Structure 1
């Protein structure tokens, strides 16, 4: 998209007033057949601006090792099994079994979550979401491609400096006002098309603080800190024209959804037929806005560098696997300062 087209997009408040599409949705704004949602906001101008963010050429991988998370944080995802074979003494080849594309550092694609009332992004038919079909598949993200200006907001460091560190064990919900306060304290601006990274310090807690007993408790209770479910949060994401939002925690938002989340369906509220996904903000961000979500991105080293020199923006590339019809992918993200 051109910058002028981005500037003409309606506000989230206006999206909530839509009667030609689901309220709160961006359906049709990037085209009726659109496949990449808010990645359309990665304009040529945004990429040129991103290149100017490279000062010393130091690069940071934002991906966890394949064995970094153990046991699995989600009951439906398993660690991969790696096989190596050889045809002769001087040859090696390999294959992977059980590769869950959203096990570690990942991107949620537009096939991942639908809205219980309105369905999947742009009203696309989920019956067509079969292996090998292209509709809303990850190959579209890979072909975009994803490269732009990244901005890190270090929520964990800000809250620690305020004397109110995040309660990771309690699954604390973080309102968007705190995110904004952290951003302003850093002097970091958000420009249209930016890829915004939120550091909750969860991976640092998981790796340095959490014992095996605590990790087992995480798996059992499924209690994680993250963004508070609210329309104010979604408005912040949309009105800042963010192309992709990523975090270093389990689900970007707190998990499970808070009881007062506005994203519960009427049926869930009236009949209490709640499942694991009930009330989550993913239902608004992915299928209604068409915004990809990154989770479990490893930001600790990048955050340290940003804090040392006060620069919180950088060139960021993301290279998802071009799996035709893929639901998600390892993120393969690199920040270059």
Structure 2
């Protein structure tokens, strides 16, 4: 482990904190920190990533801009692309309705706050304006994000184990299943690794779901994903993961299960209602400071990993350096 990761408390110890919100990493990377668990990407993590690229074959992990239609989120619209010419031998362009978290994306630390404690490191969300610095996505771009990647293919593991994985439901995948999939692949997770989870949902959405099912996803979003639980958070934190990504809409199962511990008391009493009620994003992003990748196109990468049993690679992601940005297209590449 690196010096930074060695000095960090366990998740159980995070829950016992009195100097910051329980279960939070606030202040552990510095009181003015802007990038959360991406701090775990150090020279050693990058060198491990480089060493994992043994073939030189590269995989783009981004969907084409037209792949998700209609939108999976009613507040996000597909881009409108305009091309213009100044003469017959010139082209330029602009985009309208460019929602940075529409397709293959990275959720930055401005994206979600905790309903009681607020945003990562206690920053004042009223500072989150276009062009302002605090928790802006451009800090991710400046790092940059380049580390060893680890793929955990939950769908393939569950199929081989004879376990059902219903892509059209909100099935919760426990940390126990996630860990069993990792062990079955014979892969370890090192501090600073980027971990990508394959549920097989994008393959279902793009290739097997009916047109009616795709349309219904706009209003009835159900997909499998990580179980909302403190055991899941402990798995993410104690493995010292820098960024967690998946091939579904929200990483965690959607919608949140009734037994989720992340409902507010008012939501439990049905005195408050929110599309985000009970979701684990409220702990992963603002408390742990861990960025989330969603809708990453990893099927081709997973095929290659399954073919030779090697589940590590060099991973780069290049968020747009938008000052004041909340999120960004992932612009992620894996090199094996």
Do these two structures clear the TM 0.5 threshold for a shared fold by scoring above it? yes
Q: Give CA-to-partner distance per residue, 1:232-262, whole Å, 9 cap, x none.
A: 0000000000000000000000111100101
- SS in structure 2 at match of 1:177: helix
Structure 2 distance, partners of 1:29, 1:321, is 26
Structure 2 distance, partners of 1:94, 1:5, is 44
1:156, 1:165 within 8 Å by CA — same for their partners in 2?
A: no
2:228, 2:252 within 8 Å by CA — same for their partners in 1?
A: yes
- SS in structure 2 at match of 1:219: coil
Q: Give CA-to-partner distance per residue, 1:24-83, whole Å, 9 cap, x none.
A: 000000000000000000011111111101111000000000000011000100000000
How many Å apart are 1:275 and its aligned residue? 1.0
Q: Hey, what does 2:273 align to over in structure 1?
A: 274
Q: Hey, what does 2:79 align to over in structure 1?
A: 80
Structure 1 distance, partners of 2:4, 2:130, is 34
How many Å apart are 1:223 and its aligned residue? 1.4
Q: Hey, what does 1:260 align to over in structure 2?
A: 259
Q: Hey, what does 2:21 align to over in structure 1?
A: 22
Structure 2 distance, partners of 1:85, 1:169, is 41
Structure 1 distance, partners of 2:123, 2:96, is 30
Structure 1 distance, partners of 2:300, 2:32, is 39
Q: Give CA-to-partner distance per residue, 1:90-114, whole Å, 9 cap, x none.
A: 0001001110000000000000000
- RMSD (Å), alpha carbons: 0.9
Q: Hey, what does 1:323 align to over in structure 2?
A: 322
Aligned residue pairs total 336
Structure 1 distance, partners of 2:26, 2:98, is 32
Q: Give CA-to-partner distance per residue, 1:112-145, whole Å, 9 cap, x none.
A: 0000000000000000001110110011000011
2:37, 2:290 within 8 Å by CA — same for their partners in 1?
A: yes
Q: Could you tell which deviates more after superposition, 231-240 or 154-163? A: 154-163
TM-score by length of 2: 0.99
Q: Hey, what does 2:147 align to over in structure 1?
A: 148
Q: Which consecutive unaligned segments of at least 5 residues does structure 2 have?
A: none
Q: Give CA-to-partner distance per residue, 1:286-309, whole Å, 9 cap, x none.
A: 000100000000000000000000
Structure 1 distance, partners of 2:11, 2:324, is 29
How many Å apart are 1:165 and its aligned residue? 3.5
Q: Hey, what does 2:169 align to over in structure 1?
A: 170
TM-score by length of 1: 0.98
Structure 1 distance, partners of 2:204, 2:162, is 17
How many Å apart are 1:270 and its aligned residue? 2.6
Q: Which consecutive unaligned segments of at least 5 residues does structure 1 have?
A: none
How many Å apart are 1:265 and its aligned residue? 1.2
Q: Hey, what does 1:5 align to over in structure 2?
A: 4
Structure 2 distance, partners of 1:100, 1:188, is 35
Q: Hey, what does 1:199 align to over in structure 2?
A: 198
Q: Hey, what does 1:93 align to over in structure 2?
A: 92
Q: Could you tell which deviates more after superposition, 38-47 or 213-222? A: 213-222
Within a 5 Å distance, the mapping from 1:89-168 to structure 2 comes to 89-168=88-167
